[in-house]
Amino acid sequence: MNEDGSPTENELRFYPTKRTVTYKALLFVGLFTFSILALLNADSWDLSAFQKTVLWLASPVVLLGVGFFITRLLSNKPIVCINEKGVYDNSTTSSPGWLSWSEIEDVRLVDVEQENPFSFTGSRFSIRYLDIITYDPWEVVARQRSALKRSLMRMNVKRGFPSARIPKEDLPVSLDELAEIIRGFREGRQYGS
């Protein structure tokens, strides 16, 4: 991708699947609607002062989520772009943007095991990510223009996370395939050769 956003030669772009983004936006619209209804009916539902406060604080956060997913749905920006210069990651709020091949140390698939918050039996599940490890993650953090993105990335690096962690959920290809494509470009091979 050039500075103006136009594609370069031999470039692969991956856009979010509209179905997944639509589901997320609808989920947040439902949560926002529920929180507004709960606030309007707080007296008849016999909510405590604490519960009302939580609803008042949660409503704007949920509304921001709705805005984020609707913006993502209407956006024509790729979430991952790979070319001879490097990898562009726009898959999450804390994504670094451009990473040149000279700053990428490794590409790894990781499975992160988490406890299911909705389970009473303590069940666990695994989420797969594609991690792009850079030689100097603090350099990647320092060049971010947005203060929000810089602070999110700083927090992630302090916790030991890589500069870029790409989730599968919005990608139209598997993470295994994306990892192979990135490795191929990094080694000078074109995709499919």
Instruction: Dump pLDDT digits (tens) for 130-147.
Output: 999 999 999 999 999 989
Average pLDDT over residues 139-167: 91
Name the more confident of 49 and 117.
Answer: 49
Give the ranges where 41-160 is alpha helix by DSSP (H).
49-74, 137-142, 147-158
pTM for the structure as a whole? 0.69
Beta carbons of 100 and 86 less than 8 angstroms apart: yes
pLDDT band at 193 (very low <50, low <70, confident <90, very high): very low
C-alpha span between 186 and 34 (Å, rounded): 47
What pLDDT score was predicted for residue 2?
55
pLDDT band at 35 (very low <50, low <70, confident <90, very high): confident
C-alpha span between 103 and 96 (Å, rounded): 12
- Phi, psi (deg, nearest 5) at residue 84: -65, -15
Share of the chain above pLDDT 90, in %: 29
- Tell me if residue 10 falls in helix, strand or coil: coil
C-alpha span between 85 and 100 (Å, rounded): 6
